[in-house]
Amino acid sequence: MKNHEVLDLIQEITRNDGTAYMEIGNMLMNGRAELAAERGFIKEVRILQLNIPHSTHVAKYEAYVNETFEIPDESMDHWEEWTKTPEMQEEVNLILKENHVG
């Protein structure tokens, strides 16, 4: 696995065009999103829920993220939105539902 990130929060990321999406992340990724907003790569990020339970859906999505994406370092020059397979989008939808978000 590329990363060993534990995902434990839900955040809303607003793109520069004003559209928004929900993402499951952690404090490191939230910090990177805040930095991306300061640099103008995205409009804003806000945490919707902290310390979400580590359900089987979170574990599946966490494994996908850790295998598929690299966490950007502070020298990032763009924002990479995590693309999701239909199966992973369903996992995110289930995480949002079980946490009463969205």
- What separation, in Å, do the N-terminal and C-terminal C-alpha atoms of the chain show? 30
Angstrom distances, CA of residue 23 to CA of 56, 57: 17, 13
β-partners of residue 12 are 22, 46
pLDDT, residue 13, reads 98
pLDDT, residue 102, reads 75
User: Burial, 17: exposed, middle or buried (Cβ in 10 Å; 0-12, 13-18, 19+)?
Assistant: exposed
Enumerate the domain spans of the chain: 9-99
Per-residue pLDDT of the chain (102 residues; tens, 9 = 90+): 467 899 999 999 999 999 999 999 999 999 999 999 999 999 999 999 999 999 999 999 999 999 999 888 999 999 999 999 999 999 999 999 999 997
